[in-house]
Amino acid sequence: MENETLIPAEQICIHYHIEFSFINALEAYGLIETTRKEETVYLYNNQIKHLEKLIRLHHELDINLEGIDAIQHLLQKVNLLQEELKATKNRLRLFENED
């Protein structure tokens, strides 16, 4: 991720009206990845969309960090199962076309 654009966490907190402690908590749960350069904490640009989703879950739906962690885990499993199902359907189509 070194080639990714970095955004200062402080700017993100101001833009999304969130506390810096929320960023720290998300990182502690492994929900986002940050990096430090000198005394400044940065987030990778490609994580902003994911962060927005986490902010909505927490603020709009009032889901705590443990709940967000569980939701993320379940969503990852669902995505994996969808990919497996897609691959299985593609293999099945190959067998159906051979007839």
Which CATH number describes the domain made up of 6-98?
Answer: 1.10.1660.10
Give dist(CA 85, CA 98) in Å, integer: 20
**pTM attached to this predicted model:** 0.78
Position 99 scores a pLDDT of 62
Walk along the chain (99 residues) and give the pLDDT tens digit of each residue.
Answer: 555 799 999 999 999 999 999 999 999 999 999 999 999 999 999 999 999 999 999 999 999 999 999 999 999 999 999 999 999 999 999 888 876
Q: What is the DSSP letter of 70?
A: H
The reported pLDDT for the residue numbered 2 is 52
* Strands of the sheet with 34-37, listed across from one edge: 6-8, 40-44, 34-37
Instruction: Enumerate the domain spans of the chain.
Output: 6-98
Which tokens in the block code for residue 61? 């739906």
Residue 97: what pLDDT? Answer: 80
What beta strand segments (E) does the chain contain?
6-8, 34-37, 40-44
CA 84, CA 89: separation in Å to the nearest integer? 9
